[in-house]
Copies of this chain bind each other. A is one copy, B any other.
Amino acid sequence: MFIGAQVSLYPMTSGFVGVISSALGALDPYRGDLRIETDDISTLMVGVPEPLFRAMRDLFAAAARGPDHVTLNATISRGCPGEPDDPSCRCETLAVAQGQPLAARQADALAAVRDAPVAGVEIDVQFSLYVMGADRHMDEIYGCIGFLKGSGVFLRSKNFCTRLRGDAGAVFEAVRQAFLRFGPAEGHVTIDLTASANSPSPR
C-alpha cells in the first residue's frame, strides 16, 4: 500500500511567497511521520491518513488565518497499483473498515467528524472521490455522499463534486473519513480536493 498526496497552496496576493513560507511551518510537527518533498508545482506528502490529513489541515488553516484569499489543491491517493509498497503507509483504520457493511462505516465516519478538534477557522471545500477497479464504484460514492449529508459540514452537491463548509477541523476530518471508509480497503481510491478561504466572491 502506498498513501499520499500532491499538495499546492495558492495565496492570491503579491506576497504569496511569504504566505507560503510562513504556512509551511505548520508542517514541522509532521515531518517525522510523513515523507515531504517539494518541487515547483506541488509538495508530495507520503504516509498514513491521520498525519497526512492533519498536515494538510494545519497547512491550510495557517494560511487561512491571514487576511488573504487562499486556496489549496490536493491530489490524494491510496492503493495505486503503480506505486511501490511502503511500510510507512500501513493503515489500521483501513484494515478495520475492510469487510464492514456500508451502514457501519457511515456511522464510524460520522462519529469521527463529531469528535474532530476545532481549528477555529471557517473554510470552504469541494472534492471528488474516485474508486477505481471496482464494478459497482458508484454504490460506494453514493454511500459516501449519504455520510457527508449527515456530517454537519455538507453544503451542496455540484456537478462532479461535493461542497463542504465549516470549521477546518470538521471539514478535513470529513474528507479523511471519505478517503478511508469508502471504496475497497485494498483498492485504488483517490480524491481531488480544493479548499478555499477568504474569497471576495459572494458565497
A contact set with B: CB distance below 8 Å: 2, 4-6, 8, 10-17, 39-42, 44, 46, 69, 71, 73, 75, 77, 80-83, 124, 126, 128, 130-135, 137-138, 141-142, 158-161, 163, 188, 190, 192, 194, 196, 199-203
Min CB gap A163→B, angstroms: 7
- List 15 extra interface pairs beyond A2-B159, A40-B196, A135-B135, CB under 8 A: A6-B161, A8-B71, A12-B14, A16-B69, A40-B203, A44-B159, A46-B159, A81-B138, A83-B160, A128-B190, A130-B132, A130-B190, A133-B137, A160-B190, A192-B192
List B contacts of A44 (CB < 8 A): 158-159
Is B132's CB under 8 angstroms from A4's CB? no
Copies in the complex: 2
Assembled-state Cα–Cα distance A141/B133 (Å): 12
